[in-house]
Amino acid sequence: MKFIITFNDVSGSLRTEQVLKRFAYPCVIDAAPRGLGAGCVYIIRTAAQTQEEIASILESAEIGWANIIADEAG
């Protein structure tokens, strides 16, 4: 399943990209769609089995994120 990860700051998206690539998850940094809110500038698009799988990786790497949502466009 494809997901979008949102962040409150740019550094979170950059760190997440590095971590996900290290674990061989396909991912790309993208500009946030307008509907996600003004505070969100960059997002990560990735694929995983579940949202919890992604959350666990980010928690282990001590990376903060705002939300993990299903990527309806993907």
pLDDT of 25 reads 95
Q: Give the number of other CB atoms < 10 A from CB of residue 12.
A: 19
Q: Which of residues 74 and 48 earns the better pLDDT score?
A: 48
Give the tens place of pLDDT for each residue, 14-64. Answer: 999 999 999 999 999 988 877 766 566 789 999 999 999 999 999 999 999
Which helix H or strand E contains 5, and what residues bound it? strand 2-6
**What is the value of pTM for the model shown?**
0.87
| Torsion angle in degrees (nearest 10) through CA of 6, 10, 13, 15 | -150
pLDDT of 33 reads 76
pLDDT of 41 reads 77
